[in-house]
Amino acid sequence: MSTLSTLKKMVLTAAMGLTLIGQASLAAAEEWKFALEEISGSVQDAYAQKFKQLIEDKSGGKISVTVYPYGALGESEDLTELVANGVLQFTHGSTGILGSTAPGMQVFSVPYLLSQDNAVNLKLLTESPTIYGPVADKLKTRNLRLLSMYPEGDMVWTTNKVVRKPADFANVKMRVMASPMLVETYKSFGAVPTPLPYSEVYGALQLKMIDGQENPVFAIEEMKFYEVNDVMTWSGHQQFTVAVLSSESWYQGLPAEQRALIDETVEELAPYIFETQAKYNDERLEKIKQAKPGIQLVRLTEDEQAAFRKASQPMREKLVQLAGPEAGSVLKALEQEIMELEKQ
């Protein structure tokens, strides 16, 4: 055998060896799957990408995180189900939609609940004894572990006509997430609520099957709802709030250091995502203004907001009717916690 072919053989053997080592280490990497209710570039994506980076770095590459954007695996309800069944390890769950699993979660659909001060909301959503006590316990009965919660920005109405008072909502078909509390809220505001999946909103607006919808600004931009509506209204009635969930049994089956890794990462992510969502919402508003200079931007005055607040007052009673006395107790406890945090 010539020296050249011996050399070639040695190089090939070494390369194969390296490939095998590579494959072995790839096989050794544990994969955690994280699903989103939103597309790439969204606030939930920012959360999951940072989570991925931190987990992969801190585990020294032993764990890899795969992020599945909206559309890859299904609607919000499907994602929660997949996590509860242990097919996926992590997901985001909108509070409106989670209400069917944990009635206490419907509380976040009560208008004007959260503080105007996001420092208060940060503390509430990450440390509340009510949220991480009775509400989280209820989710555990469905094999869901509540890891964290955060707001994704103020809900903004997009419509084709200006809405400044409940009477302006007469005959306006407003798309809402599939939540009985949201349906009732929009009835109380004077609108005609129409539950639809997120993926169908653009088409329904375009075909005039609905007249408007509510979502944070970043979502209005990336889902292009501003293209098919002419008015954006800051009503001040709510922030879009989401829960970060994992499978409870899967989490409990992890070695203690991996559980600690998740807990510490989620804690580290809370201030990051509070800042990021605000930045995304500001930046995306500029993008909308550039893309559609004619869009009408309306901010309800205090007095105008008060009329919607008054109209939606019966929602507190409705919450108890729809979600049971347990949800009523959660509402009272959270309001008390918010009041105390606001005093600090």
Q: Which residue's CB is nearer to ligand 6CS, number 17 or number 71?
A: 71
Binding-site string for ligand 6CS from residue 191 to residue 210, where x marks contact by CB under 6 A and - marks none: -------x------------
**Which parts of 211-301 fold into alpha helices (H)?**
217-222, 248-252, 256-291
Q: What are phi and psi of 258, to 5 degrees?
A: -75, -35
The Cα 108–Cα 99 span in angstroms is 9
Q: Quick count: other Cβ atoms within 10 Å of Cβ 323?
A: 23
Residue 43 near residue 12, CB atoms below 8 Å: no
82, 84, 163, 219: which one binds ligand 6CS (CB under 6 A):
219
**CB of 296 vs ligand 6CS, minimal distance in Å:** 21
The residue among 169 and 240 lying less far from ligand 6CS, judged by its C-beta, is: 240
Say if CB 341 and CB 115 are below 8 A apart: yes
Asked if residue 337 binds ligand 6CS (CB under 6 A), the reply is no
* Residue 131 DSSP label: I
Name which of 313, 286, 311 is nearest 163 in CA terms: 311
Q: Closest distance between ligand 6CS and the C-beta of residue 67, in Å?
A: 15
- Tell me how far apart the alpha carbons of residues 120 and 135 are, in angstroms, rounded to a whole number: 19
The answer to whether residues 174 and 194 touch, using CB atoms and an 8 Å cutoff, is yes
Residues near 281 by beta carbon (within 8 Å), at least 6 away in sequence: 153, 154, 216, 217, 218
Tell me the window of 9-17, 47-55, 212-220, 325-333 that interacts with ligand 6CS (CB under 6 A). 212-220
Q: Closer to ligand 6CS by CB, 36 or 331: give it.
A: 36
Choose between 232 and 341: whose C-beta lies nearer to ligand 6CS: 232
In the structure encoding, which two tokens stand for residue 279, read together? 């930045």
CB of 47 to ligand 6CS, least distance (A): 12
C-beta closer to ligand 6CS: residue 183 or 333? 183
Binding residue (CB under 6 A) for ligand 6CS from 226, 240, 251, 280: 240
Interaction between residue 246 and ligand 6CS (CB under 6 A): no
- Paired tokens of 220: 């209005």
Contact between residue 322 and residue 180 where contact means Cβ atoms under 8 Å apart: yes
Residue 277, interface with ligand 6CS (CB under 6 A)?
no
Integer Cα distance of 45 and 48 in angstroms: 5
- The phi-psi region of residue 210 (left if phi > 0; otherwise alpha if psi is between -120 and 50; otherwise beta) is beta
230 is written with which tokens? Answer: 């002419």
Return the residue nearest ligand 6CS (CB atom). 198
Task: Tell me how many residues contact ligand 6CS (CB under 6 A).
Answer: 11
Of 32, 35, 37, 236, which lies in the binding site for ligand 6CS, with binding defined by CB under 6 A?
Answer: 37
Quick check: 169 binds ligand 6CS (CB under 6 A)? no
Binder to ligand 6CS among 152, 221, 222, 248 (CB under 6 A)? 152
Binding marks (x or -) toward ligand 6CS, 73..112, rule CB under 6 A? ---x-----------------x------------------
Task: Choose the binding region for ligand 6CS from 14-22, 119-127, 179-187, 214-222 (rule: CB under 6 A).
Answer: 214-222
Contact 204, 210 (CB under 8 A): yes
Identify which range of 59-67, 105-113, 211-219, 261-269 contacts ligand 6CS by CB under 6 A: 211-219
- To ligand 6CS, the closest distance from the beta carbon of 38 in angstroms equals 5
Are 95 and 322 in contact, with CB atoms under 8 Å apart? no
Q: Distance (Å, rounded) from C-alpha 148 to C-alpha 31?
A: 21
Given the rule CB under 6 A, which residues bind ligand 6CS? 37-38, 76, 94, 152, 177, 198, 215-216, 219, 240
